[in-house]
Amino acid sequence: MSRGILLLLALTSTGLLSAEPGEKDRAPVEPKTLPAPEQKVTETQPAAKELDGDRLQVGEVIFNRKTREIRFPAAVNMTDGEILEFAIVHSTGKVHESLLITEVPAIELNVAFKLLRYPESPEFYAEREADGTPSNRFPEVKQETKEGSRIDIGVEWKEGDKTRTAKINEWIAHGTTGESMPADPWVYGGSMIYKGNYLAQATGDTAAIYLSNSALINYSGKDNNSDEVWFPFPKRVPPEGTKVTVIITPHKKTAEKP
């Protein structure tokens, strides 16, 4: 499958190629460069390559068709003291507000989500007023879609010869309570197109703690509407610059206490 087809799949299945708010739907335009039936087509380098029976790779994103796990590289960007609005951003994004940074483009990460059939839930994307400004209204989403869009985000890193793992929530502290972020799920929303721009790609917003209309992923828990309460958890986060692997998996509900 070619890179162009994969990216087209990611955009169309997320609704990212639809018209902007207020525009009428337009009929698709036939490309003028389609080859004639008898013309030989040169194969392009596949964007997704098979690693084994279950795993595929797009860029630096590795994903598993069976477990629906997604893995990609990142690095620790902050360890303490600074307010966090994001868990992960691209290195060209709001790095002064993010726990981790990555070089992985949002559009390639979105390809993995779509090929693994995660439904995108726009429940945290504020609807826009007629003038384009965000409102305080949010779209209604079917419960089935909400449940399917819930994910957990983990991190894996080396400490000497040992491999360590943690939930990213454990690396984020509430500034008032001093406790780690509750293990509420993160929500894959897929971001959106606005004025011709795929916002997650344009802004670098990968995973937002403080709700972001452009982020590919948003946190679903309490205080996700505050940009003043979240900080890196002291002494839990490895040193700045530590290379990590971000691991995204379908959300597993924790058993309720009796």
Write the pLDDT tens digit of every residue in 68-113: 999 999 999 999 889 999 999 999 999 999 999 999 999 999 999 9
CB 110 within 8 A of CB 188: no
Say yes or no to pLDDT of 221 above 90.
yes
Conformation bin of residue 81: beta by default, left when phi > 0, alpha when psi is -120 to 50? left
Query: pLDDT value at position 193?
Result: 87
Average pLDDT, the chain: 84
Say yes or no to pLDDT of 3 above 60.
no
Distance separating alpha carbons of residues 237 and 187, to the nearest angstrom: 23
Residue with the bigger pLDDT between 39 and 252: it is 252
CA geometry: angle at 228 spanning 190 and 237, to 5°?
75
Say yes or no to pLDDT of 235 above 50.
yes
Give the model's confidence band at 141: pLDDT under 50 very low, under 70 low, under 90 confident, else very high: very high
Give the pTM: 0.81
Query: pLDDT value at position 53?
Result: 86
Q: Which residues contact 21 (CB under 8 A, 6 or more apart)?
A: 128, 132
Give the model's confidence band at 255: pLDDT under 50 very low, under 70 low, under 90 confident, else very high: low
Say yes or no to pLDDT of 180 above 60.
yes
Say yes or no to pLDDT of 45 above 60.
no
List the beta strands (DSSP E) in the chain. 48-50, 55-58, 61-64, 70-76, 86-90, 98-102, 150-159, 162-167, 172-174, 186-188, 193-194, 197-198, 205-208, 217-219, 230-232, 243-250
Distance separating alpha carbons of residues 84 and 72, to the nearest angstrom: 21
The proportion of the chain whose per-residue pLDDT surpasses 90, expressed as a percent, equals: 67
